[in-house]
Amino acid sequence: MSRERLWVVAGVALAVVLAVAVGVVVWLGQDDTADCDAALETRARQMSEPIGGRTVAVLGDSYTQGTGLAGPEVAWPAALEERLGAPVVIDGVGSTGFTTRGFCTGAEVTYGARLDDDWAEAEVVVVQGGVNDALTGRPDDVAAAAEDVLGELEEVPTVVVVGPPSIPAAEAEELSTVDAALRQAAEDAGRAYVPLLGKDIPLLDDRVHPTEAGHQRIAELVAAALETAGRPQ
């Protein structure tokens, strides 16, 4: 991702990263090269075709891509864009998380691996994730992975961490483990944490991905957290 995408060009210096299961795809453990190739192609296309410009960046997975809906135009980053009044560029790879590469078992696509020096120069970062870690990752390792991610972002003025919502497709115990790990990592780093467990995020019939109303609810909670944490003017 170039520095151009991470800087606000109209007097607003703002970059938002997600992810958090910022979007997820159920992965059954197979090395599905076709699914990985499609996910990476989608990522490349969406990064070069920002929703409304090249001023806000979001790091995530299939939630960010609007999987199950019409696409990123109706996903939570687009809804966040409307609330913040800043365009969004998205970096999404479905099935990924803090501890899982999902379909892309041979690629460096975990949240930590996709961070680079450009992200560290952002003004605001939102890391939303954890659903894929509960589904196919290593919940017990999320704490250390999240600590590493937040360490990479320690120079960023505002960072908000958003946890996983309640989904029937994942074990409640695994979701709770991930939620607790992200909460503690955020607290240790002095960052705000936004839990989605118990926040009534409506889901599609796949029991994983949010409906449009669910995406709107996530955007509402993230926007509120950013306003409380302080947003660059």
Question: Is there a domain that residue 136 lies in?
Answer: yes
Lowest mean pLDDT among 33-42, 90-99, 176-185: 33-42
pLDDT at 83: 93
Return the CATH number at 146.
Answer: 3.40.50.1110
Query: Does residue 130 lie within any of the structural domains?
Result: yes
Number of domains in the chain: 1
- Beta strands 192-196 and 57-60 are unpaired
Which residues form the domain of 27? 3-228
Name the average pLDDT for the chain: 81
pLDDT tens readout for residues 108-160:
999 999 998 888 777 778 888 999 999 999 999 999 999 999 999 898 888 88
Domain for residue 110, yes or no? yes
Cα–Cα distance, 129 to 134 (Å, whole number): 10
**pLDDT score of 21:** 36
Specify if 65 maps to a domain: yes
Residue 233 lies in a domain: no
